[in-house]
Amino acid sequence: MQIGNQAFTAVQGEDVAFLGTRPIPAKPYYDPDWFEMEREAVFRRSWMHIGHVCELPESGSFIRRELEVLNASLLIVRGKDGQLRAFHNVCTHRGTQLVEEAQGKRPTFSCPYHMWTFGGDGALLSAPDFESFGLDKKDCALKQVALDVCAGMIFVHLGNNPPPLREWLGDLADQMETLPVARATTFSEYSYNIAANWKLTYDNFQENYHLRFIHPRSGRSACGPDNPFGYPKEYAFHDPHRTQTIWTNPDPQPTETIATAFARLAPRAMAEGLMEAPHGRKYFALFPSFFMLGTPLQNFVHVVYPISATQSRGVIRLYWVGEDANASERFGREAVMGVAREVHSEDIAVIEAGQRGLSSGALEHIHFQTQEALCRHLFNMVEAAVNAYRAEQTA
């Protein structure tokens, strides 16, 4: 394939041969028993993205996050000392959830049931008639969850003895720190529920094979005569994570809305030095269900949260540096988010149709081609984790 004076060559089979070429078993995409193993083998043993530091700007700020896959409600708080901490949103008296609000600011958290009151550091401050319990307040603090930050993004780990986050991310941590999200002060958000397995949902966003069929209009700038499927320039694997470098179309022909939006966003991006991000065309897929594209004009983050074997919840965010400077920039940001929602709406029906087909049990296997290498890699990583967990349980 020729683009100007530069040839475009799609990734070849031999480049990803180490991933194998076997048919992939279909059952893990709908089987409740497999999903139960994923809960413990994958999600309890992984760092999971749940927010951004810009959501907790000052002491007393808090956000509540639900991780249905682990039946957990989490309370993330910025304490008086400025430190971020994560706790189970569970009163240590009799388990009542402390907070119902999605976010807010308060110096203390009181259980609505019996008014046990906790500080921003999780310590039990007071409890009515506490002397009759025969307990020490220090033993009744909120149950803490491991929390760490990379590129401004907050991650939590609900397992035992988690590895340091930067060790988990490897060399991707430094690359992510160069992206606009690391300096973000605000964001646009879109969340959705989908009747599909988390892997099936996530895989849709790991391959471009479907672009010309599902997104003939909205995705046309990603494809061109010399690269009709919009395949990426390269893949890289950082077990358990993976990346791809997005191909730059020399003649993108964007829709009028996108062209106008980008024109209005470009001045701020240039002034902030965001156009110089060295990894702005790289797609970061962090195990198990996070991915990010850090392009200078729309730092895009998408996380798929499992709910059941055939139900998932997704959160899509576009991160911005600085508040809207004027009406023109506000239009640009709103338009870009509107297009992201439009593109995603084109995906939902076909993902759910795939789930209905797999859940019927008609297929024993599904198939991945060379350009679906990221999908195959994800399944390999999940399968390895489940098999390791099974072996531990057997032992």
Mean pLDDT of 73-82: 97
pLDDT at 253: 80
Q: Using DSSP, state whether 9 is helix, strand or coil.
A: coil
Predicted confidence band of residue 4 (pLDDT cuts 50, 70, 90)? very low
Predicted confidence band of residue 297 (pLDDT cuts 50, 70, 90)? confident
Number of C-beta neighbours around residue 234 at 10 A: 14
Domain boundary assignment for the chain: 2-47+164-394, 51-161
Asked if the model's pLDDT at residue 279 lies above 90, the reply is no
Amino acid of residue 237: F
**CATH class of residue range 2-47+164-394:** alpha beta
Asked if the model's pLDDT at residue 5 lies above 80, the reply is no
Interatomic CA distance for residues 119 and 63, integer angstroms: 15
Kindly give the pairing relationship between strand 61-67 and strand 6-7. unpaired
Bridge partners of residue 246, in order along the sequence: none
At the topology level, CATH places domain 51-161 in: Rieske Iron-sulfur Protein (2.102.10)
Predicted confidence band of residue 258 (pLDDT cuts 50, 70, 90)? confident
Asked if the model's pLDDT at residue 292 lies above 60, the reply is yes
pLDDT at 250: 86
Instruction: Give the percent of the chain with pLDDT over 90.
Output: 80
Asked if the model's pLDDT at residue 6 lies above 90, the reply is no
Interatomic CA distance for residues 171 and 178, integer angstroms: 12
The per-residue b/e assignment along 57-75, b for 16 or more CB within 10 angstroms, e otherwise, is eeeebbbbbbbebbebbbb
From 179, 166, 163, 159, select the one nearest 45 (Cα to Cα). Answer: 159
From 356, 384, 349, select the one nearest 26 (Cα to Cα). Answer: 356
Task: Tell me which of 356 and 8 has the higher pLDDT.
Answer: 356
Bridge partners of residue 224, in order along the sequence: 227
Mean pLDDT of 174-182: 95
pTM (predicted TM-score): 0.94
From 1, 382, 380, 375, select the one nearest 206 (Cα to Cα). Answer: 375
pLDDT at 2: 40
Bridge partners of residue 298, in order along the sequence: 295
Dihedral, CA of residue 339, residue 343, residue 344 and residue 346, to nearest 10: 140
pLDDT at 252: 83
